[in-house]
Structure 1
Amino acid sequence: MRSAMVIASDANDIEAVRKALGAAFRFKAAADVSAALQILDRERYELVFVDLDCLSRHADTHGTEATLQAFQQRHPSIEMVVMTPPHRIRSAVGWVKTGASDYIGYPISHDEVKLVAESIAESILRQSELDYLRDQFWQTDALEVVQTKSPTMAEVFRKIRSVASTRTTVLLVGETGTGKGVMAKLVHQHSNRREARFISVHCGAIPDTLLESELFGHEKGAFTGAVRKKLGKFEIANGGTIFLDEIGTLTPPAQIKLLQVLQDGTFSRVGGEETIHTGARVIAATNADLKALSEAGLFRKDLYYRLNVFPIEIPSLRRRTEDLPHLIEVFLKGLNREFQKSIHDVHPRVIEALARYDWPGNVRELENLLERAYILENSSLLTPAAFPSELFEDQERLAVVPINEHLPLAEARKSALDDFECRYIKALVARNQGRINLSASEAGISTRQLHKLMSKHGIRKEAFRKPSQ
């Protein structure tokens, strides 16, 4: 039950507030501030309606700030509403500026009392939620990241809050560009390992022949070129967190060693016999279906189950378009700091176009698109002229995928996905005129992965280069 107190000398005013609040409130009255403070020494009341004359008399002796502090020292969360005659509203506003929550006028209106009480209750709820985010869990520098209007994304942050303080292995699943790396750092920053190292390894960007050495280290002479002992990432990350991005690209030998690490926290360097212990926590990420890969024999099933202890699916940007305005604001702040320009707004037509766009590259694509427009823009807001013209075409260009209804569903789906993959890679490489590094970067994959996809679909970079190259 909520609680309220009225401080007034007029019994009619006290009764009017009591009736307005109704039976939902535990109620108490006091004739002056001193009497009210004595009551507050024994009991807690969250809402106090106080007559302006009562406040002024106490303040004449003790001072304005001291009078408010006397209430707040007893109960820091107390909310005060000043009751004032119309001709003294300016004085009531002064009390609000000093620290009171609101004011109401005489004669007492039942509707006004209820409205003020409900407004303060909503404000307390919002503030308590913000306080929880600020003080109970999220670090200050993470507050921009965790703001969301998407229920799906809010569930992601709820799961991160639940798992961050544990040692549990986390598997982040989501499309390329959804921010899996950001989420991994968020888990680390809010764990009890936050002061230790956070080591990030993009498994798909390391050649197969070096991957095992990169993760677990090697002894001198273990292979040609191993001229000295090297510590692996698991050894360096001991006591901290190691983030394994694109875990689905791990080589079979590396998968075996990772399984051992997850089982008992031990491994050996390449070419070594010494058993090394690591207390590193593993956070893995993938844009592939590891379960499907394991069932197809392309990924160890036992490793999949070890990794899949606490899966968190990061939604694509097209599933959280309500967050577009906030993401745009955050990216613009960063760009203003980096380039020392002053662009704080986006043309409404651009906002509409971005909301309609399908975002195959997700948040990373949005960031890249905004950076390009920011560099091109000469005004104080991002205009359509700074963005690709395709965004503003009246008719959406729908890619028609041929459907063979005679195939089983699984085969038909695979055929459609292969068709999309092929067209996407062709369009990407063509736009970048055969430049593999740039194409891979925009796609959010390694050059090795891009080469594999091009080879799979018979795509040659030479076909997209300018004649002069």
Structure 2
Amino acid sequence: MKRILVATNDRKTPATVSECFDSAPDLDTARDRDSMLHALDRKAYDTLFVDIDFLSLPGPDGNGFAAALSRLWEKNTHLEVVILVTPDRIREAVRAVKAGADNYLTYPVDRVEAKYVVESLYEALKLQTEVDYFRAQVGVGAHTQMVGTRTPAMREAFEKVRLVAPTISTVLLTGETGTGKGVIARLIHALSNRRQGPFVSVHCGAIPDTLIESELFGHEKGAFTSAVKRKLGRFEIAAGGTIFLDEVGTITPSAQIKLLQVLQDRVFQRVGGDVDIPMDARIIAATNIDLEELCEKGGFRKDLFYRLNVFPVNIPPLRDRREDIPMLAEFFLEKLNHMHIKDVRGIHPSVLNAFAAYAWPGNVRELENLIERAFILETSRMLTPESFPSELAANATPAASMPLDLSLPLAEFRERAKENAERHYLKELLALHRGRINRTAEAAGISTRQLRKLLTRYGIHKEEFK
């Protein structure tokens, strides 16, 4: 509810001001300057409608409006001020506005004019709020715009992010490829006390095994044949900030040992060096594989896993957060509209229906890529089915919604429906088990050989679901 103070000797003005609001405001009146100041001391008002005589104090500029307004804002920094004047004193009202007042009205106050002023003040406040919001977004990074969700599992993940961000604890992000682990890592950094420091991202799986230690910890000149000069490692560059180790499960056994030492001792040495360098970076690691299972197979050190798994955060796959798909699609579309000289303002309902039924093996990254591709192809003001790959709708259609072809004999229709259902079932099951043949076959109650034959028959590739 709006809290309004009307400070004037005119008896009709308070009622006129009250009529400007859709619902009755919390409105008080003051008949002189002293009672106005006393009311402002007692209560925090949103807007003050004030007679100009209550403000026109002597000052070096000849009117003293600036000093009078400053006195009001000392009591309430967010107070909006509307000056009330007789028509012959409009020049004084303009000087008051130049001194900082928000607007003015003339006696007798007209309800339509007053309503316009009230609405303009609201729009100005709304615009300023949006400006402040976007400034905050720039301060912490555009990725924070993506933290909205309607999915309980994702809300839980964001709540964990909020709790762990201010700490220096090591975070392990788990989830399938394309779920947005990198975005979450940047969000943790942006919300942390290290936000002013660097954010250094390392894709461990993209670095050759022979260079991983040099990339992470640096090397001294002459440490190996191509080391012609000293090189700083990513840990050293990330000092005072955050280092993000993406696909940490791919690093070599020797690098695992050195990383474990860094986590334990908080110091490291460059390759070929013997000087201990303090490790002053917050570590966030991410993986799309089951590290516990990898530990059991001997592919990853258990002690390193326990060091990394201090605060685990699981990012659910997109198929488990289908409620968020329309919101994410709109976000990506709006982002593209800002980046390109093009104005596509909506997504066709049939496209959203296909999105809702699709298995999303590539998760959020696949959704973003599909939106971008369609945006480039689209010639209308809305993303239509024609701008998306035909297989999106084909792969998304469950057996229950298979179109009826009454020209087919019953036996043939039954066979096609069976194949369609099997194809959809296998894709969902593969996505659930991240493309693992053994687990998918076990869940389906068939042998791995039978599963491979079915995948070949339906043209399904397990790599798409990892």
TM band (smaller chain)? 0.5 to 0.7
Aligned equivalent of 2:287:
286
- 2:65 is aligned with 1:38: no
Give the Å deviation of 1:226.
Answer: 4.3
Alignment root-mean-square deviation, CA:
4.9
Question: Where does 1:297-446 land on structure 2 (aligned, <5 Å)?
Answer: 297-393=298-394, 395-396=397-398, 397-398=420-421, 399-400=424-425, 415-416=442-443
Letter in 1 for 2:303: D
What fraction of aligned residue pairs are identical, expressed as a percent? 48
CA gap of 1:205–1:382, structure 2 versus 1, over 3 A, is same
Give the Å deviation of 1:135.
Answer: 5.8
CA gap of 1:354–1:70, structure 2 versus 1, over 3 A, is farther
Give the Å deviation of 1:362.
Answer: 0.9
**Partners in 2 of 1:65 and 1:38 — Cα distance?**
16
Give the Å deviation of 1:138.
Answer: 6.8
Aligned equivalent of 1:91:
113
Give structure 1 stretches of 5+ with no counterpart: 18-24, 82-86, 102-122, 404-410, 433-438, 446-469
SS at 1:382 equivalent: coil
CA gap of 1:278–1:42, structure 2 versus 1, over 3 A, is same
**Partners in 2 of 1:32 and 1:67 — Cα distance?**
17
CA gap of 1:241–1:100, structure 2 versus 1, over 3 A, is closer
**Partners in 2 of 1:99 and 1:30 — Cα distance?**
20
Given that 2:141 and 2:190 are in contact with CA atoms closer than 8 Å, whether structure 1 keeps it comes out as no
- 2:267 is aligned with 1:240: no
Given that 1:178 and 1:314 are in contact with CA atoms closer than 8 Å, whether structure 2 keeps it comes out as yes
> C-alpha deviations, 1:19-40, integer Å up to 9, x for none?
xxxxxx9x99544363552223
Given that 1:248 and 1:290 are in contact with CA atoms closer than 8 Å, whether structure 2 keeps it comes out as yes
Given that 2:56 and 2:68 are in contact with CA atoms closer than 8 Å, whether structure 1 keeps it comes out as no
Give the Å deviation of 1:373.
Answer: 1.6
Give the Å deviation of 1:360.
Answer: 1.6
Letter in 1 for 2:31: D
Given that 1:133 and 1:143 are in contact with CA atoms closer than 8 Å, whether structure 2 keeps it comes out as no
Aligned equivalent of 1:262:
263
**Partners in 2 of 1:230 and 1:131 — Cα distance?**
41
Given that 1:347 and 1:382 are in contact with CA atoms closer than 8 Å, whether structure 2 keeps it comes out as yes
Letter in 2 for 1:34: R
**Partners in 2 of 1:334 and 1:48 — Cα distance?**
36
SS at 1:381 equivalent: coil
Aligned equivalent of 1:104:
none
Give the Å deviation of 1:94.
Answer: 3.0
TM normalised by structure 2 equals: 0.66
**Partners in 2 of 1:76 and 1:347 — Cα distance?**
46
Give the Å deviation of 1:169.
Answer: 1.3
Given that 1:4 and 1:45 are in contact with CA atoms closer than 8 Å, whether structure 2 keeps it comes out as no
- 2:157 is aligned with 1:156: yes
Question: Where does 1:11-90 land on structure 2 (aligned, <5 Å)?
Answer: 30-32=29-31, 34=33, 36-46=35-45, 74-77=75-78, 88-90=110-112
**Partners in 1 of 2:53 and 2:316 — Cα distance?**
59
Question: Where does 1:83-232 land on structure 2 (aligned, <5 Å)?
Answer: 88-97=110-119, 99=121, 139=140, 141-223=142-224, 225-232=226-233
CA gap of 1:58–1:315, structure 2 versus 1, over 3 A, is farther
CA gap of 1:65–1:267, structure 2 versus 1, over 3 A, is closer
Given that 1:165 and 1:191 are in contact with CA atoms closer than 8 Å, whether structure 2 keeps it comes out as yes
Give the Å deviation of 1:8.
Answer: 9.2
SS at 2:212 equivalent: helix
**What is the aligned residue count?**
388
Worse-matched range after superposition: 133-142 or 302-311: 133-142
CA gap of 1:261–1:385, structure 2 versus 1, over 3 A, is same
**Partners in 1 of 2:159 and 2:197 — Cα distance?**
23
CA gap of 1:305–1:384, structure 2 versus 1, over 3 A, is same
Aligned equivalent of 1:116:
none
SS at 1:311 equivalent: strand
> C-alpha deviations, 1:371-400, integer Å up to 9, x for none?
222222222221101112233348414444
> C-alpha deviations, 1:293-332, integer Å up to 9, x for none?
3344332222112111222222222233333233223322
Letter in 1 for 2:276: T
Given that 2:186 and 2:199 are in contact with CA atoms closer than 8 Å, whether structure 1 keeps it comes out as yes
SS at 2:361 equivalent: coil
Given that 2:285 and 2:308 are in contact with CA atoms closer than 8 Å, whether structure 1 keeps it comes out as yes
SS at 1:209 equivalent: coil
**Partners in 2 of 1:180 and 1:257 — Cα distance?**
24
Given that 2:137 and 2:145 are in contact with CA atoms closer than 8 Å, whether structure 1 keeps it comes out as no
